[in-house]
Chain A
Amino acid sequence: MTLYAIRRLLVAIPLLIGITFISFIVIHLAPGGPVDQIGGDLGPRSTAQMQKLMREQWGLDKPLHVQYGLWLSRIVRLDFGRSFAPDGRPVLHKIAERLPVTLLLNIIELLIIVAVAIPIGVASATRQYSLFDKFTTMFVFVGFATPDFWFALLLMMLFGVQLGWLPISGLRSPNWEYLSFWRQQWDFLGHLVLPIAVATFGGLAGLSRYMRQAMLEVVRQDYIQSARAKGLAEAVVIRKHALRNALLPIVTILALSLPGLIGGSVIVEWTFGIPGMGQLMVQAVFQRDYPLVMGNLVIVATLTLVANLIADVSYGVIDPRIRLAGRRAR
């Protein structure tokens, strides 16, 4: 098992280097280089100073391979430079204060998606072509096609503006400091309801569909037939024999859907004014705060990689065939 984990880790290292390489290319996509790009938009006030900052931070006057070496060596030391914003704080600090919010939201979303989508998928697979199955299939199609920002606006209009039940912006009410402890928690939870509803909607559709698919494949297998033939109750057949096997591919699907989920934070956080990494990213892009943009990009991709790695390893834990098959092949 340890061997398997180490092997996955080794595969991840080139990907990690790749992340820094792609990000480095992104910097140089701008026509005439990123330094020229800055000039037009920001006016002469800060331009000259920023251009100087960028040349220093990224060593832009050196040859490309030297630049990449510098960029890499700084990232390895987790040095993403300083933000262009007037406060000029280190990028890493800015991201560190936003990261917990985004992580919290994404973990809650993931838990809800798993907890709701798996029962839905199982139920619609075991009752294929029933009314429930048709209804969930329709829900899946609509869920796939619904733009999350539109869904967010609809919920804001209904629950925020028309009914006035839920707050539609930020994570805390303006009078938060004056509330009692429990009131504060309640207030925080209220602020989470709509953003989480929006973020889980699309993922729910996707995972329940995959779960249904996986379940349908498993129940056709011979060992399910023999479980039934030896007279086990249908509930036991489904829960013990079918579900456990159907869950295996779902781990991979979940890992693959992580970048989408994290990417979705951009729109949800921006729409609901939640101070997480997604909102930080959009603000940084608007302000052309390049060090912050690059820091965000590298960190988000690295986190996704780590999450994939965890999923890979846990796949090996729950399914011995995976780790053994890999060993024999090599």
Chain B
Amino acid sequence: MSGFWRAFRKNRLALIGGVVVLVLIVVAVLAPMLSPWNPYRPDVKKILSTPSSHHPLGTDQLGRDVLSRMLHGARVSLAVGFVSVGIAALIGVVLGAAAGYRGGSVDATVMRLVDLMLVFPSFFLLLAVLAFLRPTIWTIMAVIGATSWMRVARLLRAEFLSLKEREFVLWSHAIGASGFRIVWRHILPNAMAPVLVAMTLGIPAAILTESGLSFLGLGVQPPYASWGNILNEGKDAIEVGWWLSFYPGLAILVTVLSYNLLGEGIRDALDPRLRQAVGRGR
């Protein structure tokens, strides 16, 4: 662990990313206290007012304060990022562990399922599912999680394939440990490093997906604010209110960039060899 910290500390960009991520988490948690205005209260006298000392980031078409809405939007991003990645990790770990440990037909089935899921352009699949479900923040999290577990499953399977032949595992077989115990207590803890890295890099991907869906109007529904749906309103106002599009997008960019820098920093510090395995794809 101390070796990890020593390596991580040398990576200045990753440190900056980590600090920004921490600040974002604090901001999201404290959003109701930090917001200067009520993010849901319209004010007809202040429709689309330019950024000023009263409204540092201006107001939207209904006269609501953009800064306050963005602070509340940070909570959506944070929640969607963590929960959907948690769901993806859960599915990926269960399927990946089963495939790697059992091998044979279980392995073949799981890996074909992974191939299959990867054939679907994810946005089309997400939209198709959302056509049948009502888009709420919960369905969005579930759907993003259910369509992004493949990388974790692949990584964990690969780890299991090599770990299950190692001596400490063979010994626990010899002393009669149950299959579940071997997987849970002996193999899984040793296989988690790449999964944790993939999860860190999965959070920004989930945030991008959620904001994309909300931008289309098929994600988090008004009046609730998310960076994506503020941008959706901004799209209709590009000729009169640049601030409505500019700031939420910048927030997404900074957030995603910070998580990516942090994730790559963790990966390089944990094990530089992972660079190959846990690359990033879109």
Residues of A within 8 A of B (CB): 14-15, 18-19, 22-23, 26-27, 29-31, 34, 37, 141-142, 144-151, 153-154, 156-157, 160-161, 202-203, 206, 210, 256-257, 259-260, 262-264, 266-267, 270-271, 278, 281-282, 284-286, 288, 290, 293-294, 296-297, 300-301, 304-305, 308
Q: Is the CB of A145 within 8 A of B235?
A: no
Interface residues of B in 150-200 (CB under 8 A from A): none
| Residue B33 at the chain A interface, CB threshold 8 Å | no
Q: Is the CB of A142 within 8 A of B121?
A: no
| Residue B7 at the chain A interface, CB threshold 8 Å | no
Residues of B within 8 A of A (CB): 112-113, 115-125, 127-133, 204, 208, 211-212, 215-218, 228, 231, 234-235, 238-239, 242, 245-246, 248-250, 252-254, 256-257, 260-261, 279-282
For A147, list chain B residues within 8 Å (CB).
208, 211-212, 215, 231, 249, 252-253, 256
A128 to chain B, nearest CB (A): 15
CA distance A37 to B133 in the complex (A): 8
Interchain CB contact (< 8 A) of B131 among A19, A157, A285: A285
Q: Is the CB of A26 within 8 A of B245?
A: no
Interchain CB contact (< 8 A) of A297 among B125, B133, B242: B125
Number of A-B contacts (CB under 8 A): 166
CA distance A25 to B234 in the complex (A): 35
For A144, list chain B residues within 8 Å (CB).
256-257, 260, 280, 282
For A203, list chain B residues within 8 Å (CB).
282
CA distance A26 to B124 in the complex (A): 12
CA distance A278 to B228 in the complex (A): 18
Q: Is the CB of B218 within 8 A of A285?
A: yes
CA distance A267 to B249 in the complex (A): 14
CA distance A203 to B217 in the complex (A): 24
Q: Is the CB of B216 within 8 A of A157?
A: no
A157-B238, A282-B218 given; name 8 further pairs at CB < 8 Å: A19-B116, A37-B132, A147-B253, A148-B212, A150-B245, A263-B123, A267-B216, A290-B132
Quick one: closest A residue to B234, CB to CB? A153
Known: A149-B212, A284-B131, A300-B121. A256 touches B116 (CB 8 A): no
Interchain CB contact (< 8 A) of B245 among A157, A210, A293: A157
CA distance A311 to B104 in the complex (A): 28
Q: Is the CB of A301 within 8 A of B120?
A: yes
Quick one: closest A residue to B130, CB to CB? A285
A249 to chain B, nearest CB (A): 11
A13 to chain B, nearest CB (A): 12
CA distance A50 to B115 in the complex (A): 35
For B133, list chain A residues within 8 Å (CB).
29-31
For A296, list chain B residues within 8 Å (CB).
124, 128
Query: Which 6 A-B pairs have CB atoms at the shortest separation, nearest pair first?
Result: A150-B249, A263-B121, A263-B123, A145-B257, A260-B282, A30-B132
Interchain CB contact (< 8 A) of B127 among A154, A266, A305: A266
Best-surrounded residue of B118, B218, B249 (most CB of chain A within 10 A): B249
Quick one: closest B residue to A146, CB to CB? B253
CA distance A85 to B249 in the complex (A): 34
Interchain CB contact (< 8 A) of A154 among B132, B245, B252, B281: B245
B196 to chain A, nearest CB (A): 20
For B260, list chain A residues within 8 Å (CB).
141, 144-145
CA distance A328 to B204 in the complex (A): 42
Q: Is the CB of B122 within 8 A of A260?
A: yes
Known: A149-B231, A150-B245, A153-B245. A304 touches B132 (CB 8 A): no
CA distance A305 to B238 in the complex (A): 38
Quick one: closest B residue to A19, CB to CB? B119
For A160, list chain B residues within 8 Å (CB).
238
CA distance A26 to B117 in the complex (A): 13
Known: A19-B116, A153-B238. A259 touches B122 (CB 8 A): yes
For B122, list chain A residues within 8 Å (CB).
259-260, 263
For B231, list chain A residues within 8 Å (CB).
147, 149-150, 153
Known: A15-B119, A19-B119, A285-B130. A161 touches B216 (CB 8 A): no
Q: Is the CB of B132 within 8 A of A27?
A: yes
For A278, list chain B residues within 8 Å (CB).
123
For A142, list chain B residues within 8 Å (CB).
253, 257
Q: Is the CB of A266 within 8 A of B218?
A: no
Best-surrounded residue of B117, B119, B257, B261 (most CB of chain A within 10 A): B119
For A18, list chain B residues within 8 Å (CB).
112-113, 116, 119
